[in-house]
């Protein structure tokens, strides 16, 4: 179990003068579920996008399965994307396609699965995330926010990726639906034996799905540990964040 699936070293990313990531060091073991917590706008989504190669970091190293992917050639990056699935913060469903075509996108375009077979697989996946087959032929815009999240989840796990990223999977959902999504994340990650990296500020969700928690603050990982360690930590930043106090070392710029 000591094998690192993802290894990030001294990662930097700035947009113009705005420094977002300022030396991130992070390791995720194979099959582990890591949750990154941190305030709005601290660069959590940017971190995930750097790992995915959607954004190019300014400096630092990201290794997936021991393979360097920063500035890697297209072939290596394509191979990486084949291993990864992503649930986007806003769903990011293709609105020119139907729900089932969204779910089956990776299967049809990359695994070259015949459409008929892919549709059956998509319907099975939709069932797995608790949606009935009759939504399959709808357009994503006809679904509620929670349903879209679930479709997006189904799309993320469709190609059975080895690594799944969840960007705020429960934000904007009611507590019960959040818990349903949490269960789905645990189920799908454990079911596939996948390594999971989840971003959230929903502490209930973090407690439930995390093997390990890391806190991002001012461009650095300032603390990491298990849920139990988090509850006992003396670290004032973590304590303030999990208790949701406005008083403490973290200053909110209003």
Partner 1 sequence: MAKNIVENFLRKLGKPLVVFIQRLGELSLFIAKAVYNCVTPPFYIKLLGRQFLDIGFYSLPVVALTTIFAGMVIALQTYSGFSSYGAESAIASVVLISVTRELAPVFCGLMVAGRIGAAMAAEIGTMKVTEQIDALVTLSTNPFKYLFTPRLLAGIFVLPLLVMIGDIIGIFGGFLVSVYQLGFNPANYITNTINELQAIDINIGLTKGAVFGFIIALMGCYNGYKSRGGAQGVGEATTNAVVASSILILIFNYIITGMFFTK
Ligand X SMILES: Nc1ncnc2c1ncn2[C@@H]1O[C@H](COP(=O)(O)OP(=O)(O)OP(=O)(O)O)[C@@H](O)[C@H]1O
**What are the backbone dihedrals phi and psi of residue 117, each rounded to the nearest 5 degrees, phi first?**
-65, -40
Is residue 82 part of the contact set for partner 1 (CB under 8 A)?
Answer: yes
Strand order in the sheet with 163-167: 84-87, 163-167, 195-199, 33-37, 212-217, 220-225
Residue numbers 5-24 binding partner 1 by CB under 8 A: none
CA dist 105 and 129 (Å) reads 17
| Pair of tokens at residue 132 | 């009935």
Which of 70, 93 has the CB closer to partner 1?
93
Residue 145 binds to ligand X (criterion: CB under 6 A)? no
Q: How many angstroms separate the CA atoms of 166 and 168, rounded?
A: 6
Q: Which of 34, 35, 45, 217 binds ligand X (CB under 6 A)?
A: 45
**Segment contacting ligand X by CB under 6 A, of 35-43, 92-100, 138-146, 178-186:** 35-43
Task: Give ∠ CA 158-214-13 in degrees, rounded to 5.
Answer: 80
Kindly state the smallest distance separating residue 54's Cβ from partner 1, in Å. 5
User: Which is nearer to ligand X, 5 or 44 (by Cβ)?
Assistant: 44
- Comparing CB distances to ligand X, the nearer of 15 and 94 is 15
Q: From 30-38, 49-57, 130-138, 196-204, give the range in contact with partner 1 by CB under 8 A.
A: 49-57
Q: Which does 169 bind (CB under 5 to 8 A by kind): Mg ion, partner 1, ligand X, none?
A: none
Phi-psi region of 159 (alpha: psi -120 to 50; beta: other; left: phi over 0): alpha
């Amino acid at each position: 179990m000591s094998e690192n699936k993802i290894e990030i070293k001294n990662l930097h990313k700035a947009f113009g003068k705005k420094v977002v990531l300022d030396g991130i060091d992070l390791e995720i073991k194979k099959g582990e579920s890591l949750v990154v917590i941190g305030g709005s706008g601290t660069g959590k989504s940017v971190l995930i996008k750097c790992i995915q190669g959607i954004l190019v970091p300014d400096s630092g190293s990201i290794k997936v399965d021991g393979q360097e992917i920063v500035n890697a050639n297209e072939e290596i990056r394509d191979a990486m994307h084949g291993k990864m699935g992503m649930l986007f913060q806003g769903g990011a469903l293709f609105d020119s396609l139907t729900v089932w075509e969204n779910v089956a996108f990776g299967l049809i375009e990359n695994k070259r699965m015949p459409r008929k077979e892919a549709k059956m697989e998509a319907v099975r996946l939709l069932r797995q995330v608790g949606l009935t087959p009759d939504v399959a032929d709808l357009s994503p815009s006809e679904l509620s926010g929670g349903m879209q999240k679930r479709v997006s989840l189904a799309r993320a796990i469709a190609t059975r990726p080895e690594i799944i990223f969840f960007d705020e999977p429960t934000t904007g959902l009611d507590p019960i639906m959040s818990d349903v999504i949490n269960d789905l994340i645990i189920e799908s990650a454990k079911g596939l034996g996948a390594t999971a990296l989840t971003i959230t500020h929903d502490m209930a969700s973090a407690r439930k799905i995390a093997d390990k928690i890391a806190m991002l603050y001012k461009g650095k990982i300032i603390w990491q540990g298990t849920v139990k360690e988090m509850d006992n930590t003396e670290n004032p930043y973590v304590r303030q964040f999990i208790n949701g106090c406005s008083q403490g070392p973290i200053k909110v710029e209003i």
